[in-house]
Copies of this chain bind each other. A is one copy, B any other.
């Protein structure tokens, strides 16, 4: 008998994220502060949008304990208050102190994705300061629930330290999260301010106020008084649906025949499409869908992939930024000389609709640089870290040869990409870089090439205008001289009047003045 020197062990999801907090972006005191603010603000924006409420968000950061010593701990208090729909009293402990418990798992666009962010922030706070978090919420404007919570990491369960029901005389509704964490504000401050600024750009209906630990107040006022249409839940699109999804759909289907099941469970599948797909899979439309074998399900998925005639997915679960709004935001931020925005039609990957928007801005306040300024957004969240790992960076740096579009090596060029989807394929749980799914890469490439073609036309016009200006300058300079010379040669006393000719050629007084000045 050979001994096996290996222990096997099952760990809980909270244990997993506790041990691997780097993968959720909580890697240093600076980045963890940024992540905490981000996760809570995004929960607040989602919470307001879900109730069609104009978001009013207040973020307060204060320093609790400063360390003079090298390696000592700097403890901050972070408080985020919103006016969203709130979290029901009985759900608060699970929602804030359990990993992989959340409300963001539906088939529609939301900022949150993993059911993880808020809890990770609180978990990080608990690990670094050993203090409970306070969560206060009201959903009905009547009762206010107030919890002090810690997380039982081993069991992935909340530990309720205290609970109170409070009176709500002023009918307040919303959520307040208040907790302590080890943080480094000095280092993360630029990123945090950039995060607020860019979030405000793509969420003009939100009013965001940030009071920092130095007592400074940053206010990003509401610019638009209209709540964006909240994304609706929808059925999955057949393209790219996998075995697991289809097995679940079959399990919960009320339709019995295969054809009826396809029509009822997927978007963009009518009677005709259903029959064609079934035939392509070598199956029969009236087969009992619950009795499909493994091989038949596999054949069905293969037919989905090969069919090629589905209409694009329903974009109603999405709420993209919108070309008009993107343009307004960019203009106010960068005051560019040129801007072109492209909104692609909805496409899909893995059964999820995707809308890609892109823009190129040139000149104005954009700093000329060898590196392109890339602004990335995903479901209206600005992405600020891990730029080089993102699909947008790949497209901008590898898929587009900027010299083909007359862009000089050092240029005042800014590129904006926005990806909205019911499911953003993030590479990291920290939601900073998007994976290069071929469908998304393709959409981005098409959108940015269209922008680049327009930029090229603009740069060509500039080039032509400059060439024309140069040519007119030459006319302005030499025509009078030629006239004088010809007159002298012909023995005329007065040279012919070239002004009408110059005017005809488009030479203005300014050109003539400029040339005279250059001469002198």
A residues neighboring B (CB under 8 Å):
1-2, 4-13, 15-16, 18-20, 22-23, 27-28, 50-51, 69-73, 85-86, 88, 91, 94-95, 98, 100-103, 105-106, 113-115, 126-131, 139-141, 153-154, 173, 242-244, 248, 294-295, 297-298, 301-302, 305-306, 308, 386, 388-389, 423, 425-430, 433, 435-438
For residue A11, which residues in chain B have a CB less than 8 angstroms away from its CB? 100-101, 105, 115
C-alpha spacing A154/B4, complex, angstroms:
31
Least Cβ–Cβ distance between A352 and chain B, in angstroms: 11
Indicate which residue in B5, B128, B295 contacts A51 across the interface (CB closer than 8 Å): B5
Q: Is the Cβ of A5 less than 8 Å from the Cβ of B427?
A: no
Indicate which residue in B85, B153, B389, B427 contacts A4 across the interface (CB closer than 8 Å): B85
For residue A427, which residues in chain B have a CB less than 8 angstroms away from its CB? 22-23, 27, 386, 428, 430
Indicate which residue in B72, B102, B308, B429 contacts A70 across the interface (CB closer than 8 Å): B308
Q: Is the Cβ of A426 less than 8 Å from the Cβ of B23?
A: yes
- Which secondary structure dominates chain A's binding surface? loop
Q: Is the Cβ of A127 less than 8 Å from the Cβ of B243?
A: yes
Q: Is the Cβ of A298 less than 8 Å from the Cβ of B130?
A: yes
Most buried by B among A20, A72, A305, A308: A20
Please give the count of copies of this chain that the complex contains.
Answer: 2
Beyond A22-B437, A23-B23, list 6 extra A-B contacts (CB 8 Å). Answer: A6-B50, A10-B98, A16-B115, A22-B435, A28-B435, A70-B308
Nearest B residue (CB) for A106: B7
Q: Is the Cβ of A141 less than 8 Å from the Cβ of B23?
A: no
For residue A386, which residues in chain B have a CB less than 8 angstroms away from its CB? 389, 427
24 A-B contacts (beta carbon < 8 Å): A5-B50, A6-B85, A6-B103, A8-B91, A8-B101, A10-B100, A10-B101, A11-B100, A16-B114, A18-B244, A19-B105, A19-B423, A20-B114, A20-B429, A23-B23, A23-B427, A28-B436, A28-B438, A72-B302, A127-B243, A127-B244, A386-B427, A389-B389, A427-B428
Least Cβ–Cβ distance between A4 and chain B, in angstroms: 5
The 5 A-B pairs at the shortest CB distance, nearest first, are namely A388-B388, A27-B435, A389-B389, A22-B435, A22-B425
C-alpha spacing A429/B430, complex, angstroms:
11
Nearest B residue (CB) for A95: B8
Indicate which residue in B102, B139, B426 contacts A2 across the interface (CB closer than 8 Å): B139
C-alpha spacing A19/B102, complex, angstroms:
14
C-alpha spacing A154/B10, complex, angstroms:
16
C-alpha spacing A6/B5, complex, angstroms:
48
Q: Is the Cβ of A130 less than 8 Å from the Cβ of B243?
A: yes
For residue A15, which residues in chain B have a CB less than 8 angstroms away from its CB? 100
For residue A7, which residues in chain B have a CB less than 8 angstroms away from its CB? 103, 106
Nearest B residue (CB) for A6: B103
Q: Is the Cβ of A27 less than 8 Å from the Cβ of B428?
A: no
If the complex has contacts A308-B71, A426-B20, A427-B430, are A294 and B131 also in contact, measured as CB distance less than 8 A? yes
Q: Is the Cβ of A73 less than 8 Å from the Cβ of B302?
A: yes
Least Cβ–Cβ distance between A204 and chain B, in angstroms: 23
Least Cβ–Cβ distance between A290 and chain B, in angstroms: 16
Indicate which residue in B22, B85, B295, B302 contacts A5 across the interface (CB closer than 8 Å): B85
C-alpha spacing A248/B242, complex, angstroms:
41
Nearest B residue (CB) for A25: B427
If the complex has contacts A1-B140, A85-B6, are A298 and B27 also in contact, measured as CB distance less than 8 A? no
C-alpha spacing A10/B157, complex, angstroms:
12
Least Cβ–Cβ distance between A50 and chain B, in angstroms: 6
Nearest B residue (CB) for A184: B438
If the complex has contacts A4-B139, A302-B72, are A126 and B243 also in contact, measured as CB distance less than 8 A? yes
Least Cβ–Cβ distance between A295 and chain B, in angstroms: 8
C-alpha spacing A455/B273, complex, angstroms:
67
C-alpha spacing A16/B113, complex, angstroms:
10
C-alpha spacing A389/B27, complex, angstroms:
13
Least Cβ–Cβ distance between A428 and chain B, in angstroms: 5
For residue A127, which residues in chain B have a CB less than 8 angstroms away from its CB? 242-244
For residue A131, which residues in chain B have a CB less than 8 angstroms away from its CB? 294
Nearest B residue (CB) for A139: B4
For residue A113, which residues in chain B have a CB less than 8 angstroms away from its CB? 20
Least Cβ–Cβ distance between A423 and chain B, in angstroms: 8
Indicate which residue in B27, B128, B244, B429 contacts A436 across the interface (CB closer than 8 Å): B27
Least Cβ–Cβ distance between A179 and chain B, in angstroms: 14
C-alpha spacing A173/B435, complex, angstroms:
39
Most buried by B among A294, A430, A435: A435
If the complex has contacts A131-B294, A426-B23, A436-B28, are A103 and B8 also in contact, measured as CB distance less than 8 A? yes
Indicate which residue in B13, B85, B102 contacts A100 across the interface (CB closer than 8 Å): B13
C-alpha spacing A153/B330, complex, angstroms:
43
C-alpha spacing A301/B65, complex, angstroms:
15
If the complex has contacts A128-B242, A242-B128, are A428 and B9 also in contact, measured as CB distance less than 8 A? no
